[in-house]
Each structure stands twice: as structure tokens, then as C-alpha cells.
Amino acid sequence: MYEVLARGSQGAQRNSFALQAADAYLIARRPDDAAHALDLLSPPLAASATFDRSLMKVRIALQRGQAAQAWILIRAVAPPREAKAASRYFRLRQRAAFAAGDPAAGVAAEMQLEHWQLNAAALQQSRVVLLDALRDAAERGVKMQTAAGENPVVRGWLELAPLAAEAARNPTGATAALTGWLSNHPGHPAVEAVRSQLLGEQQEPLAAQAHIALLLPITGPAGPLAASVRDGFLTAYYQAPAQQRPVVRVYDTGKGQPIADVIAAATQAGADIIVGPLMRPAVAAAAADRMQRPPLLALNFLPQGEQAPPLFFQFALSPVAEAKLAARRVLSDGHPMGIAIVPAGQWGSRVLAAFTQQLQSGGGTLLASTMIDPSAADYSAELKQVLGIGQSRARLDRLESLLGTRLAFVPRRRQDIQFIFAPAQAGIERLLQPQLRFFYAGGIATYATSDAFEPDLRANQDLDGLMFPAAPWMLGSPLAEAVHSAASQAWQAGGPASERLFDFGFDAYRLAAALRQNSAPSSLDIKGLTGQLTLGADGRIERHLVWARFRGGELAPLPSAPGS
């Protein structure tokens, strides 16, 4: 029926029917008919239709027994960044990898798939499916080879494959080997599947046990953000020697349960430190909860002026804190007078307020400020106003009126501007900085926050001269390069979905481990991916950053400011 409808339609509707026809044929295991249905597609194809067609070609190759061709096709498709499409892609990539006899790539696909599983039950089911695929591959005689330096999660899954196959043949005989695997891989994602699927243990409520409780909104709209934080957190966990790794339990805060109830559950389960929550409202609710609990490392800051309760630490990638750093740097560089250009909205208002307060407290003056529309591409009107170019034009008009003649004119900005504070996300900065140069402001010292940075050499060439406080991962520290290289090799799809949040999660684990073991947390000093981390008197983790400037599209460290 879909095929008939496709033949009688045009454009996007025809393509939709043709794709539905191909999908129906594949469900019926009729790959040749599915291929004929794809022939009905009519260009131009929308991006979503192109993606669907690519995945269907992989499915057709698999059903035809062309595993090598399917593996080539799926690797040519770029991983999507939307949860539903990404889940489909990585499930199919896992199938193709196992069909092609590459179980390590199949495990890597599962690890990527887990980033998009925003439901705890779906996450566990996905791991059971992977365990079944590994067992089947081992029974077919596929070799489970692990390369030197293999990611410990991948290695653990591959070592489990022959044990799963043996458990299928001889359930009682494999018990000792499986128990040994559990001892060698504490905290591995497969632990629960091994206990329930291979050892036949009944699923019971977790017993009270000392552990790190990681509170993240895995379910819901913030799920992809939480997944990046979780990935960084667990990467740091697996970098620690096995004998030093504590138990980590992830608690999903995205299901609408009051945060006080989640904290109570973690406390009753034996948590000796709680990491999270992540979102600002949940952090405020956690601070308001006065029930007895272990130390807590919140992954956001409380609102300004709100006092934290005892044993309540706060860690965040705060643009407000960076705005204050920028104000101090402006003054140290000898630029007490300037202007600010910020994106309209709550983010811009908070950053501008923090910068202005810090600037004025240090004796500086903000001559003027303006807000630009983040969704716009042309900021001419706002820039003319804040740079005083409109006043130059008005003076010309008055002079021409007095003289009664036309005068040659080159517009001028106001000459008392010594600095420009222009914090924004990278896409906005790449539009804003060339426009500042067009309006004769290219030679003014311009400062931003680290939000201006994305690792893109070609696009960053428009940002030459822009200065901001940079984290070590941005400048390519040895630690950052080692961590990102390991993550990219494990996931085989370009590394973390969000380097900023991945590195934040990585540092959160190291902070939690230090706070958990340190009887004198005031001495805490960690060289992290997001900065040199120390503990302030108010329980906030302070990030000490290095100032950097874009030069030729690349970041170059700046010398310390005079007098700093």
C-alpha cells in the first residue's frame, strides 16, 4: 500500500511513503523489494530522509548477508546528534559490527548508544542485548581480541563473551569464572546483567553499601547534557587503579521525584558522598533540605547571596565567575573605561551584572552597554549606538545645516573606549567580531568568557585578538590530550558529545574522590581539565584559569596581567 501511495505522490510526501514501504519490506525480511522501494525516492531529499535511506541500505545489506558491505556503509554515515536518530544509528552500527566479525567495534557502538539512553530500564536492556550478541559471537568462534591499552570497559565486555557462551552450555560450571570476572571488574556496566542473566540472581533492592552517589537527570530534556557529565565522570573512575575505585551508583533525578527524596534514598543506601544534582533549581532544593546526609558536591552554584548548609560543596562552569575574572583582567591591563556587548536574555543579564559590579568595585567605569539578539546575524544598529557612531553622524548633520553645504565624512566611534567586554557563545562571537572591526573598533582590547571557544581552527580565525580565561583542555594540556584520546578510541565516533561537560564530569569525579578521602578539604588542590581546582571558604570550588588570546585561529596563552 505504501508503495502504491508513493507512486501516486510527489515531493516530500512521495519520499515519506517510499521510505515507509522500504521499512515494511525490511520488517517482512524482503530486502530486494525494500531496495526497489528506495528507488522510488525523488530528489531533493530532506536531511532526515537521506539519513533514513542510508540506514535502510545498511539493513538491506545485512539481510542479504553482505556483512562487510553493511559495515562499510554504516561507517560512512555521520553519527547524528539527536537522541532518537542516534539510538537507531548506534543500534544498527552494533549489529553491523558483530555481523562483520568486529566485536570490539560492536561494544564501542553500545558505549555510544548508552549516551542516548535516557531511561534506566532501556539502558539495562541495551546491555543485555550486547551480552547476548557477544555470547552468540563467541559461540560462532569469533575471536575476542583486545589491543594493548584497550579501554577497560571494552576489555571487560570482550573478556565476558566466552564466559557467557560457557554459561549457556554449562550454567553451574561457569559460576566460578563469572565470579572471578566480577571481582576483576568492579563497577563495570555489565555487572548487573551478569548477575541477573548469567548467575540467575534475583533482582532485589540494593543493599546499603558505601558508595559515591551520582545524581543526574538521565531521563528528560536535560538527558544529553547529563550523559556527557556522566561519561566524563566514569572515564575518570576507570582511570583510577581498580583496587582504589569505590562503588558508584547513578540516581536518575529526571523523573520528577523531589530531590530531597533522591538524597534520602542515596543516604539510606550507604552513600558516603553525593555528587549532584546538576540543574540549578534542584541544587537550590538540595540546599534547602535539612535532613541528615553525607557531604554533597553540587554540580551548579546556588543563587547569589544564598548561604550553603554544612558539608555542601559547589562546582560549576560559571560564566558569572569568568565575567568577574574578565573585569579584574581589564583593570590589571590598564583599561578602566569601556563598553559591554552581551546577548539578550537571562544569561547575558547575569554576566553583565557580575562584570559591572566587579569593574566598578575596582574603580573602573562602564561607559555604555547594549544587548544583541542571539538569533540575529546583523548587529549594526546596536553597535552604532554603543560605539557612539550615531553621535558622529548627528554632529555632521548639525555642521552641514549651519554651513549650508555637504561635507566629506568618515564616521568615527567615541574615542574614550579602552576595552570591549563581549561575552557570547562561539557562533555569536564569529558574527560579532568582524562587525566590530567594520565599525572601527578592531583595535580595542576585547575580552570575553570561555564560552567563545570551540575547537575549530578555520572558524576561529574571525576571532583573532579576542581574549578570555581558558581551561587547560582548551590549550591542550597533556592530561586533556590523554583523556580525550582514550575517549575517542573507545567510542570511535569523534570523542565526547560535549567536551566542556565531559571535562566537567571528569573533574567532578576527581573532586568527589578527593573530598571523600580528605579529612582537611581546605587543602584540596587538583590540576583538572577545567582549571586548577581549589576549595574556597564558602564551599565553592574555585577554578584558576589561564588567560589566552586567539591568534591565527589558534589559542595562545597570555602573560600574567601586570600586578597580578
Q: Which of 179, 198, 217 is the last residue of a domain?
A: 198
Query: Among 156, 101, 99, 107, which Cα is nearest to 129's?
Result: 107
Per the structure, the complete domain to which residue 46 belongs is given by 2-198
Is residue 394 situated within a structural domain? Answer: yes
Query: Among 320, 323, 334, which Cα is nearest to 419's?
Result: 334
Q: Which of 166, 198, 230 is the last residue of a domain?
A: 198
Local confidence pLDDT in tens for the 564 residues of the chain: 999 999 999 999 999 999 999 999 999 999 999 999 999 999 999 999 999 999 999 999 999 999 999 999 999 999 887 767 888 999 999 999 999 999 999 998 988 887 666 555 677 788 889 999 999 999 989 888 766 666 788 888 999 999 998 888 887 788 889 999 988 887 788 888 888 888 877 554 555 678 999 999 988 888 888 988 998 898 888 888 877 888 899 999 988 889 999 999 999 889 999 999 999 999 999 999 888 899 999 999 998 778 888 889 999 999 999 999 999 999 999 999 999 999 999 999 999 999 999 999 999 999 999 999 999 999 999 998 999 886 655 554 665 566 666 645 455 668 899 999 999 999 999 999 999 998 889 899 999 999 999 877 777 888 999 999 999 888 887 777 777 666 655 444 444 556 889 999 999 999 999 998 875 566 789 999 999 999 987 889 999 999 999 998 889 999 876 655
Residues 24 and 117 in one domain: yes
Residues 246 and 327 in one domain: no
Residues 310 and 234 in one domain: yes
Q: Which of 167, 198, 229 is the last residue of a domain?
A: 198
Rg (CA), the chain: 28
Is residue 160 situated within a structural domain? Answer: yes
Residues 309 and 382 in one domain: no
How many domains would you assign to the chain? Answer: 3
Residues 122 and 237 in one domain: no
Residues 508 and 454 in one domain: no
Residues 144 and 225 in one domain: no
pTM here is 0.65
**Residue indicated by cell numbers 568527589:** 512
For residues 154 and 111, the answer to whether their CB atoms sit within 8 Å is: yes
d(CA 19, CA 16): 5
Is residue 484 situated within a structural domain? Answer: yes
Residue 376 main-chain phi, psi, to 5 deg: -90, 165
d(CA 305, CA 316): 16
The pLDDT assigned to 325 comes to 95
Is residue 563 situated within a structural domain? Answer: no
Residues 249 and 277 in one domain: yes
Residues 291 and 369 in one domain: no
CATH code: domain of residue 256: 3.40.50.2300
- CA contacts within 13 A on the Cβ side of 223: 19
Query: Among 268, 247, 255, 127, which Cα is nearest to 185's?
Result: 247
Is residue 562 situated within a structural domain? Answer: no
d(CA 446, CA 436): 10
Helix (H), strand (E), coil (C) string for 122-187 = HHHHHHHHHHHHHHHHHHCCCCCCCCCCCCHHHHHHHHHHHHHHHHHHCCCCCHHHHHHHHHHCCC
- The residues, any chain, with a CB within 8 Å of residue 142's CB and separated by 6 or more, are 101, 103
Q: Counting Cβ atoms within 10 Å, is residue 564 exposed (0-12), middle (13-18) or buried (19+)?
A: exposed
Is residue 564 situated within a structural domain? Answer: no
| Peptide bond connecting 31 to the previous residue in cis, omega within 30 degrees of 0 | no
Extended beta strands in 475-553, E state: 525-527, 532-535, 541-544, 546-551
Is residue 519 situated within a structural domain? Answer: yes
Residues 131 and 90 in one domain: yes
Collapsing DSSP to helix, strand or coil, 84 comes out as helix
d(CA 47, CA 493): 20
Is residue 453 situated within a structural domain? Answer: yes
The pLDDT assigned to 234 comes to 87
- The residues, any chain, with a CB within 8 Å of residue 420's CB and separated by 6 or more, are 338, 339, 340, 341, 436, 441, 444, 445, 446, 447
- The residues that bridge with 533 in the sheet, in sequence order, are 526, 543
d(CA 564, CA 561): 5
Residues 6 and 25 in one domain: yes
Residues 498 and 423 in one domain: no
The pLDDT assigned to 202 comes to 56
